[in-house]
């Protein structure tokens, strides 16, 4: 029984895309998609209906305008080159999105201030083809920079580069994807201003912002090209990142974290001090999946319960209360069972149970909880949407 449960850790990671959107495969062959950006969301139910809600001030919802609304709406596009029947993933970021089709084409929409959409500076996209060197196998996004992984295990990066997060040796923002000196890569992840890549041998690489020792423990200097990260003997199954910290899930279901910890986003109390090396998070059961964003982290445990920790300034941990802006929260349960998906946004969270029910908590200034109001809520509750239809 234990072996089956531990094997499920890696299986769930494989069932959920390593890009920003989570594409969850059901046993009957159908799938659902849930993609959470900074303050907005995309979903696709088992009937193929694509819906969007939340912040649209940069046009990141792909409506062709930047009009705001609190209501969930059907997703449409006026670009005749986009066949939504071919949509396999929506890779969201803080304020921009990529529509990734099964034929390998990727269309960008939203804020292009740092050139993540590969368009000229000053251009705001409405479903314009993003110029990539080849069809991606996976994509990842940070706070203004983006990466793609090829089928052959190569990595390209572009966009915001103020801390060297593109990895090409300088700090100038980059419009054209840059090929990095890495090979045999199986997963890519963007932190806020740093990047990570896991290779097939289990070696973790990183580059960019190192202020909080996410990359190297003995220096705070930014790393402008990929460096090896020492993770000791951890047998890594999956990697994620907060804004300035790293989360590893190992093959045994243990979480390991390090980096910035001013809001307890590492899952333990260090009195706000940075942690320089991987440290285990004390949780009661093995973890089957983890999702991190900004300064908060969410974990699904082996019994299907959902746990959360970190920043709780708008109740986005879903534990039933709101904390002060300077006070973080240690791990606590926010839903009892049957959770199969979770994604956090800037100050909110959305999860899905195995019957397709969406749960949400946190701020809803832009209607990002999908309930049609701007009211925040501090407890995880169903938001009235289901992704699995009969």
DSSP state, 386?
A: E
Tell me the whole-structure pTM to 2 decimals. Answer: 0.94
> Above 80 in pLDDT, residue 109?
yes
Strands (E), 223-368: 223-229, 236-241, 245-250, 255-259, 275-280, 287-293, 296-301, 306-311, 328-335, 339-344, 348-353, 357-362
Mean pLDDT of 43-61: 96
For residue 11, what pLDDT is reported? 41
Token reading at 62: 């792909």
Burial 66-88 (b: 16+ CB within 10 A, else e): beeebebeebebeeeebeeeebb
For residue 61, what pLDDT is reported? 94
pLDDT digits (tens, 9 = 90+) for 169-200: 999 999 999 999 999 999 999 999 999 999 99
Q: How far apart, in whole angstroms, are the C-alpha atoms of residue 291 and residue 105?
A: 26
Yes or no: say if 73 and 366 are a contact pair by the CB < 8 Å rule.
no
Yes or no: say if 196 and 241 are a contact pair by the CB < 8 Å rule.
yes
Instruction: Provide the sign of the torsion angle of the four alpha carbons 54, 115, 133, 204, taken in this order.
Output: negative
For residue 186, what pLDDT is reported? 97
Q: How far apart, in whole angstroms, are the C-alpha atoms of residue 81 and residue 354?
A: 34
Using alpha carbons only, how large is the chain's radius of gyration in Å? Answer: 19
Average pLDDT, the chain: 93
Mean pLDDT of 361-385: 95
pLDDT digits (tens, 9 = 90+) for 244-299: 999 999 999 999 999 999 999 999 999 999 999 999 999 999 999 999 999 999 99
Helix (H) or strand (E) holding 3: helix 2-15
Mean pLDDT of 134-152: 96
Q: How far apart, in whole angstroms, are the C-alpha atoms of residue 260 and residue 246?
A: 9
For residue 20, what pLDDT is reported? 45
User: Could you give the C-alpha distances from 45 to 63, 120, 358, 389, in angstroms and in order?
Assistant: 19, 34, 11, 7
Bridging pattern class, strands 204-208 and 223-229 = antiparallel
Instruction: Provide the sign of the torsion angle of the four alpha carbons 315, 316, 317, 320, taken in this order.
Output: positive
> Above 70 in pLDDT, residue 37?
yes
Backbone φ and ψ for 8, nearest 5 degrees, come out as: -65, -25
Architecture of the CATH domain 2-29+231-386: 7 Propeller (2.130)
SS (H, E, C) 43-111: EECCCCCEEEEECCCCCCCCCCCCCCCCCCEECCCCCCCCCHHHEEEEEECCCEEEEEECCCCEEEEEC
Q: Which has the closest alpha carbon to 159: 197, 118, 207, 220? A: 118
Backbone φ and ψ for 9, nearest 5 degrees, come out as: -55, -55
Chain-centroid distance of CA 36 in Å reads 7
pLDDT digits (tens, 9 = 90+) for 218-234: 999 999 999 999 999 99
Per-residue pLDDT band at 358 (split at 50, 70, 90): very high
DSSP state, 388?
A: -
Domain boundaries, the chain: 2-29+231-386
Burial 99-123 (b: 16+ CB within 10 A, else e): bbbeeebbbbbbbbbbbbbbbeeee
Yes or no: say if 381 and 359 are a contact pair by the CB < 8 Å rule.
yes
Chain-centroid distance of CA 374 in Å reads 23
For residue 249, what pLDDT is reported? 98
Yes or no: say if 177 and 157 are a contact pair by the CB < 8 Å rule.
yes
The three-class DSSP label of residue 211 is: coil
Residue 352 forms beta bridges with which residues? 341, 358
Burial of 364 (0-12, 13-18, 19+ CB in 10 A): buried
For residue 247, what pLDDT is reported? 98
């Amino acid at each position: 029984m234990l072996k089956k449960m531990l094997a499920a850790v890696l299986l769930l990671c494989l069932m959920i895309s390593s890009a920003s959107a989570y594409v969850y495969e059901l046993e009957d062959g159908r799938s659902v998609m849930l993609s959470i950006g900074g303050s907005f969301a995309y979903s696709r139910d088992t009937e193929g209906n694509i819906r969007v809600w939340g912040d649209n001030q940069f046009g990141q919802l792909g409506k062709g305008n930047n009009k705001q609304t609190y209501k969930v709406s059907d997703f449409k596009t006026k670009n005749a080159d986009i066949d939504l029947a071919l949509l396999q993933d929506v890779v969201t970021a803080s304020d921009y999105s990529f529509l990734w089709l099964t034929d390998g084409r990727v269309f960008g929409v939203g804020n292009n201030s740092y050139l993540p959409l590969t368009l000229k500076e000053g251009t705001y996209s409405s479903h314009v083809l993003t110029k990539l060197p080849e069809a991606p196998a996976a994509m990842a996004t940070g706070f203004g920079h983006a990466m793609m992984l090829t089928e052959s295990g190569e990595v390209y990066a572009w966009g915001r580069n103020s801390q060297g997060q593109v990895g090409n040796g300088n700090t100038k923002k980059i419009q054209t994807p840059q090929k990095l000196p890495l090979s045999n890569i199986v997963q890519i992840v963007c932190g806020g201003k740093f990047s990570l890549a896991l290779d097939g041998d289990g070696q973790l690489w990183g580059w960019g912002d190192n202020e909080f020792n996410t990359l190297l423990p003995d220096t705070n200097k930014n790393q402008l090209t990929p460096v090896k990260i020492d993770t000791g003997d951890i047998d890594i199954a999956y990697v994620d990142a907060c804004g300035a910290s790293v989360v590893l899930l190992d093959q045994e279901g243990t979480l390991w974290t390090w980096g910035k910890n001013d809001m307890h986003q590492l899952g333990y109390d260090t009195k706000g001090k940075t942690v320089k090396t991987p440290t285990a998070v004390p949780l009661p059961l093995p973890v089957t999946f983890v999702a991190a964003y900004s300064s908060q982290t969410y974990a699904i445990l082996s019994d299907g319960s959902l746990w959360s920790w970190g920043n709780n300034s708008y109740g986005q941990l879903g534990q039933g209360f709101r904390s002060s802006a300077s006070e973080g929260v240690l791990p606590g349960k926010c839903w009892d069972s049957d959770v199969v998906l979770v994604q956090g946004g800037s100050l909110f969270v959305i999860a899905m149970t195995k019957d397709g029910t969406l749960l949400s908590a946190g701020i809803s200034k832009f209607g990002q909880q999908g309930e049609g109001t701007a009211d925040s809520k501090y407890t995880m509750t169903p938001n009235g949407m289901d992704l699995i239809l009969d």
